[in-house]
Structure 1
Amino acid sequence: MSRTRTALALGMAAAAALTAASATATAAPLPVAGSTTVTPAGHAFKATLSGKATLKAGSVTVTCTVSVAAGSVPAAPGNQNPAGPVSSPISPPTYSSCTSSMPGVTPTVTTSGSWSVSMQNGSPITATMTVPAGGLVVQTTGLANCTVTTAPGGPANVPGSWANGAPSSLTFTNAVVPVTVTGGFGCPTSATTSTFNAVYKVTDTTNPAQQITVTP
């Protein structure tokens, strides 16, 4: 009888300890984002595509070899955040010299609205490009007339990474972007997302001898 009571007591104690541990784990606060500083404060910059940018929706891939955007680092103290990212407005990127994976189809890419890019220092340094609702539209003509609209339900955050250098670079690798596709035969109308790949070289246009840099 005593053995049964002892086993029962041990089992209850173990269950209580497990419950307490679970509650402690659940209540643990999320880690605080580290500090971020983008320099030089107030300097203008230009992001120029290196290589090619691809946007793939369903079985259709649009490839562009020319893309440029411009922006500026916030003036001090806005270029520093003690616990989070630093955001900079950018011009809607332009895309040209574009081709489609579908034979006989010519794509045209137009952009609009308020775009931005934010950097968060870390290992690696992360970057997020915010595309406004409907901020990028791909239209194709020829054998298939399709319209691909990005961020149809509101602004979309496109995850990427940043690397300091001369020049620094902004990279997007298989980043998922919400889309809607309309059109007739040959259009991937069932696609609800696309994947975006691109590498941009970012140069300081206020003082070309300096580099846009992300540090703690």
Structure 2
Amino acid sequence: MTHGALRSRTLLAAGTGILASAAMTLAVTGPAAAQPTATGPGNGPAAGSTTVSPAGHSYVAELNGGGKATFKAGSVTVTCSVSKADGQVPAAPDNHNADGPVSNTIGAPSYSSCTTSLPGVSATITTGGPWGVSMQNGAPATAGLTIPSGGFVLKTSGLASCTVTAAPSAPATVTGTWTNGSPSSLTFTNASVPVTVTGGFGCPTSATTSTFNATYKVSDTTDPAASITVSD
């Protein structure tokens, strides 16, 4: 490969957003998902009653049957084919909230078998810290996933070596749509999270957000015949 060709490919990585590799629950100037807004006096109607069932049951969230989790920035996309997280519905009476969402901690999601849309560039994702989940009944029902500060780090290697950190200075929440079923599902569509990008030549260090798309099936592991549901 000539020096000019190598430089051209490296510039492409920067210009199109090699940062895609920085996208897990994040976003680099993509469509921003609406963040939860305050409710109550002076802020519009209060959130409705929520019950998550079965109380005390453990569950696992995994990519829906052969699905992918994609993290996109500009025209660059990072795709992971394996992702899962473990959680537990709060025990009664904490699985019900008459005035809003039911919240609990969840294990940090894992992401593996990740590829990028750029030739010669690979990506790995590391997560950690206590993550949170908040389920709210509604039409549709929703689930907010809270990333702890620095709890998601995406690194690229190859033609460009960059580090993308989600929620770099404070926890951030992305919100998905919840659908009851057997199993139930949680879908994130163009969810947006703040990020910082560091690295040398070819890294989009000016990027501040990245987008995330994925659909998870949520299965009851305490009783496989039961379903994790969100209702009033």
- Within 5 Å, which residues of 2 pair with 1:7-156? 30-50=44-64, 51-156=67-172
Q: Return the offset for 1:199.
A: 0.6
Q: State the structure with bigger RCO (CA 8 A, min sep 6), 1 or 2.
A: 2
Give the greater-gyration-radius structure (CA): 1
Question: 1:163: which partner in 2?
Answer: 179
Q: Return the offset for 1:88.
A: 2.2
Q: In structure 2, what residue type is equivalent to 1:147? A: T
Distance 1:112 1:159 in 2: 19
- Within 5 Å, which residues of 2 pair with 1:155-194? 155-194=171-210
Distance 2:195 2:73 in 1: 8
Residues 152-199 of structure 1: per-residue CA shift (max 9 Å, x gap): 011001011100001000110001110001112222211100001111
Distance 1:182 1:102 in 2: 18
Matched pairs, number: 190
Larger mean CA deviation between 29-38 and 105-114 belongs to 29-38
Residues 67-111 of structure 1: per-residue CA shift (max 9 Å, x gap): 010000000000000010001211100000001122101101000
SS of 2:218's equivalent in the other structure is: strand
Distance 2:44 2:208 in 1: 31
Distance 2:206 2:50 in 1: 40
Q: In structure 2, what residue type is equivalent to 1:101? A: S
Distance 2:143 2:98 in 1: 17
SS of 2:125's equivalent in the other structure is: strand
Q: Return the offset for 1:30.
A: 2.3
Question: 1:213: which partner in 2?
Answer: 229
Q: What TM-score do the two structures reach when normalised by structure 1?
A: 0.85
Q: In structure 2, what residue type is equivalent to 1:39? A: S
Distance 1:152 1:64 in 2: 22
Q: Return the offset for 1:29.
A: 6.3
Larger mean CA deviation between 183-192 and 102-111 belongs to 183-192
For structure 2, list consecutive stretches of 5 or more residues without a partner in the other structure: 1-40
Distance 1:107 1:28 in 2: 45
**Contact between 1:58 and 1:188, CA under 8 Å: does it hold in 2?**
no
Q: What TM-score do the two structures reach when normalised by structure 2?
A: 0.79
Identity %: 68
